């Protein structure tokens, strides 16, 4: 067999990085879809305004979900044990997210088919649920990951999850969920301000400003809490390029351990600082330069997720039941061959996805107005 030209250790780090890229891509693109649906019944004062809001994302929301699908596929292929534990342990939460996401295509297709105000208001509420519930649960899930997930493994690496759905809804996790909701609501408001005009644009900008300020307060508050939260760290050196076996290590739990990487590499503090600065910059620019505001708003998505990732590295799914059975970058990945073949496929297809996505957004640039709805007739949402 031909030797693989990339070290196993490097491949594992690359796929940890690529997983982060996929999550960030989902937050930046599909994130503003969720944010706009969250704002739908809040700033859409008339049926026409709500139709305008839906048509700003109508042509792109399905394509934006590619990042979500790729993220799930990457976890399945590159980190099979993490996929097994997370999708088993968070099964009911994932089911709720799936049901909420199903409301989007159904709502888009059926909302404007009947002119009854009751019919359309009902779908507006369901679309709102389809926006706010996934945003909340994604954040709640990450909050629980930071605290450790109650699972353990036996000697044959069978997984035993010992938690319940209601344990996921603890105060810290809900706080993380609210960070996610307001972050994506800010992002959705910025995108809406870019695509609309008049009073609706003004309300979208105002909603984005408020959401950004709330995000800053919650983000800083959660960050302060993490400094006192029990984190995970290795009790002894580990092998970085060995066979994936999460039983071959010793892990200890210590308050503030999630800040270890920040202590070792102080430049990492630029990530949370940039998140706060970008959110405040969004507040300053969204009302007057909406298109420019989309840049700092996207940076907020990037730096928030990156802050979480680097604080936990190399842990991906820590275990609160038995910390030494936590899943890390070094012991939960697929084989070296699998990671290398997937990397080749990613190098080929990722640029294609980025190119056609950029082309679609360029073709669909411009404002969505009441005149646009009249021109499109029944073909508009």
DSSP assignment of 131-164 equals HHHHHHHHHHHHHHHHH-B-EEE-TT--EEE---
Read off the pLDDT band of 128 (50, 70, 90). very high
Residue 124 pLDDT exceeds 70: yes
**89, 171, 100: which is closest to 134 by C-alpha?**
100
Check: CB of residue 148 under 8 Å from CB of residue 320. Answer: yes
What mean pLDDT do residues 236-265 have? Answer: 89
Question: Which pLDDT does position 242 carry in this prediction?
Answer: 82
Question: Which pLDDT does position 177 carry in this prediction?
Answer: 96
Residue 134 pLDDT exceeds 80: yes
* CA geometry: angle 207, 145, 153, nearest 5 deg: 160
Read off the pLDDT band of 146 (50, 70, 90). very high
DSSP assignment of 272-334 equals HHHHHHHHHHHHHHTTT-HHHHHHHHHHHHHHHHHHHHHHHTTEEE-BSS-GGG-EETTTSS-
What mean pLDDT do residues 291-304 have? Answer: 94
* CA geometry: angle 254, 255, 256, nearest 5 deg: 110
Average pLDDT, the chain: 90
Residue 183 pLDDT exceeds 60: yes
| Total residues found in the chain within this entry | 381
Q: Name residues whose C-beta falls within 8 Å of residue 365's C-beta, 6 or more positions apart in sequence.
A: none
Half-sphere exposure of 9 (CA within 13 A, CB side): 5
Distance (Å, whole) CA 124 – CA 118: 10
Residue 70 pLDDT exceeds 70: yes
**Residue 151 forms beta bridges with which residues?**
161
Helix, coil or strand: residue 348 = helix
What mean pLDDT do residues 12-31 have? Answer: 92
What mean pLDDT do residues 202-207 have? Answer: 94
Summarize the chain as % helix, strand, coil (round to 5). 75, 5, 20
Residue 1 pLDDT exceeds 70: no
What mean pLDDT do residues 175-191 have? Answer: 96
Give, rounded to a whole angstrom, the gap between the first and last alpha carbons of the chain.
Answer: 55
Check: CB of residue 294 under 8 Å from CB of residue 305. Answer: no
Distance (Å, whole) CA 97 – CA 309: 22
Question: Which pLDDT does position 312 carry in this prediction?
Answer: 94
Check: CB of residue 131 under 8 Å from CB of residue 187. Answer: no
* CA geometry: angle 196, 202, 207, nearest 5 deg: 105
What share of the chain has pLDDT > 70, as a percent?
Answer: 99
Question: Which pLDDT does position 112 carry in this prediction?
Answer: 82
Token duo for residue 261:
């990487």
Helices (H) and strands (E) in the chain, counts: 14, 6
Residue 376 pLDDT exceeds 80: no
Tell me the Ramachandran region of residue 124: left when phi exceeds 0, alpha when psi lies from -120 to 50, beta otherwise: alpha
Read off the pLDDT band of 313 (50, 70, 90). very high
pLDDT tens per residue, range 26-44: 999 889 999 999 999 999 9
* CA geometry: angle 55, 105, 99, nearest 5 deg: 135
Read off the pLDDT band of 284 (50, 70, 90). very high
Read off the pLDDT band of 186 (50, 70, 90). very high
């Amino acid at each position: 067999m031909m030797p693989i030209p990339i070290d196993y250790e490097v491949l594992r780090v690359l796929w940890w990085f690529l997983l982060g890229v996929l999550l960030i891509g989902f937050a930046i693109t599909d994130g503003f879809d969720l944010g706009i649906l969250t704002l739908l019944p809040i700033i859409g004062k008339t049926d026409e305004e709500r139709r305008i809001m839906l048509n700003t994302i109508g042509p792109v929301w399905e394509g934006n979900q590619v990042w979500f699908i790729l993220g799930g596929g990457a976890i399945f292929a590159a980190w099979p044990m993490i996929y097994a534990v997370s999708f088993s342990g968070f099964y009911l939460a994932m089911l709720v997210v799936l049901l909420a996401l199903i409301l989007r295509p159904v709502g888009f297709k059926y909302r404007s088919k009947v002119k009854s105000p009751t019919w359309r208001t009902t779908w507006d509420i369901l679309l709102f649920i389809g926006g706010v519930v996934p945003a909340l649960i994604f954040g709640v899930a990450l909050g629980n990951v930071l605290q450790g997930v109650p699972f353990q493994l036996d000697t044959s690496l069978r997984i035993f999850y010992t938690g319940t759905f209601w344990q996921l809804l603890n105060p810290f996790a809900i706080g993380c969920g609210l960070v996610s909701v307001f972050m994506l609501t800010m992002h959705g408001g910025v995108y809406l301000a870019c695509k609309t005009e008049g009073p609706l644009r003004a309300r979208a900008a105002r909603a984005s400003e408020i959401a950004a300020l709330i995000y800053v307060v919650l983000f800083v508050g959660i960050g302060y809490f993490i400094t006192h939260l029990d984190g995970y760290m290795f009790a002894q050196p580990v092998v970085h390029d060995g066979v994936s076996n999460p039983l071959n290590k010793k892990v200890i739990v210590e308050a503030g351990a999630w800040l270890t990487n920040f202590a070792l590499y102080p430049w990492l503090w630029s990530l949370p600082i940039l998140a706060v600065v970008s959110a405040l910059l969004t507040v300053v620019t969204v009302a007057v330069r909406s298109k420019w505001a989309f840049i700092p708003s996207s940076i907020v998505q990037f730096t928030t997720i990156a802050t979480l990732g680097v604080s936990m590295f190399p842990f991906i799914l820590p275990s609160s039941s038995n910390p030494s059975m936590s899943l890390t970058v070094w012991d939960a990945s697929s084989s070296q061959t699998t990671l290398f073949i997937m990397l080749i496929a990613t190098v080929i297809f990722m640029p294609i996805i980025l190119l056609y996505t950029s082309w679609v957004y360029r073709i669909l640039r411009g404002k969505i107005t009441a005149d646009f709805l009249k021109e499109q007739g029944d073909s508009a949402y």
